[in-house]
Structure 1
């Protein structure tokens, strides 16, 4: 019953935050700090969920890079606010544009859409993103799995984030979140803990586009190991 009430709250909270985010974005359209502010407002829901968010290593605002995070469920948007660096754009699939209210917000907040099903449009989007980060000096936040894992563990990474990092000459900055399906139960009064940890930046200097898949695999292995380590720590209490 408690989980039903909390999910109902999240459903109602979602459009409220979207409206607040639209007001913020209309006042300062395409500002590179809009997405972080909106993500932080989404994360306020943790007080109703009675969910502990433990940030082990906060994002370093001095690092301009391509931030890659594991994508687990819809809960991510209510938890990941503290893992978002300032001065960033989020890279999301084009279908997000058609979500009522949220799609307009995502665009107006200054984020970037990518056509994953169309290779030419995807390449163009990566060039656009590289141009944005180079001209604006901003970071990009991406879920390299491309979809939610929903309890299946860390899914294989798509190459886009790593191609972007190589083309823009920026480091990859992994953000790891502990497994929510193992450690969070919305039916409990204290629903659990999510740990967020930023790993050291991984340089892309000297790499070429053809190295993207190998880089993706390297980062995947690092993140999978860190997520497993955090899960073991949470299991031990």
Structure 2
């Protein structure tokens, strides 16, 4: 864990108000884009990046990143990460420059304005109770074909306060099916800024560790459990590794 408590959560209401306003503006911008093809993708990336960075600024999340040198900017990844806060997707999008498409739960796509904008932006809908694998595969294939990486939280929901939940295999099956490397990413401190299931926002430091990409070429579905274990171990170890600043 990085950072810590930085005084009372006075910023909760203004941060939520500013973030929700930015979400409405961003959703409308995506829906009203007149562009197509590569120009549209780049414009959507820019909108997502701006939206995410605005949320980070409003909440007071001060981000430091370790391991950027491990990223090949032209490569496509399945990014897997621990999940402790509603702010996690914004942190990821801010760091990766908006070039991510997220595997998101179906409930979010039912929200007026937000749901249509998420579809228009290329986010991939998944029903956690009754997954339509064909629909997921089509959405994932479209994201990869456009040069976007895919962000998945393999725990399926927020982590326990005492540690990560077991990882589901879906992200790893996707990576193997498409021959795309798995990129383990570890978040620390985001739950200090905005704890899961709580409306309390405080300024704090957030640290992201980008792990070593795990190749999937020549792997088969039978290799998914081992790949899942390797990725989870990488994130677990990063969670317990001392940070460069000593926190």
Cα distance change, pair 75–65 in 1 and its aligned pair in 2 (3 A): closer
User: How far did 1:168 drift?
Assistant: 0.7
User: How far did 1:134 drift?
Assistant: 5.0
The aligned counterpart of 1:159 is 169
TM-score (norm 2): 0.79
Which whole-Å deviations, capped at 9, do the CAs of 1:11-59 have from their partners, x for residues lacking one? Answer: 2123212222123312147844425632442333444444321022335
More helix by share: 1
The aligned counterpart of 2:188 is 178
TM-score (norm 1): 0.82
Alignment of 1:13-162 (within 5 A): 13-25=18-30, 26-27=32-33, 28=35, 31-33=40-42, 34=44, 37-58=47-68, 59-84=71-96, 86-119=98-131, 121=132, 123-149=133-159, 151-162=161-172
The aligned counterpart of 1:233 is 243
Indicate conservation of the 8 Å contact 1:93/1:113, yes or no: yes
Instruction: Give the secondary structure class of the aligned counterpart of 2:11.
Output: helix
Identify the structure with bigger relative contact order (alpha carbons < 8 Å, sequence gap 6+). 2
The aligned counterpart of 1:208 is 220
Specify every segment of 5 or more residues in structure 2 that has no aligned partner in the other structure, as ranges: 1-5
| Count of matched residue pairs | 231
Instruction: Give the secondary structure class of the aligned counterpart of 2:87.
Output: helix
Alignment RMSD: 3.0
Specify every segment of 5 or more residues in structure 1 that has no aligned partner in the other structure, as ranges: none
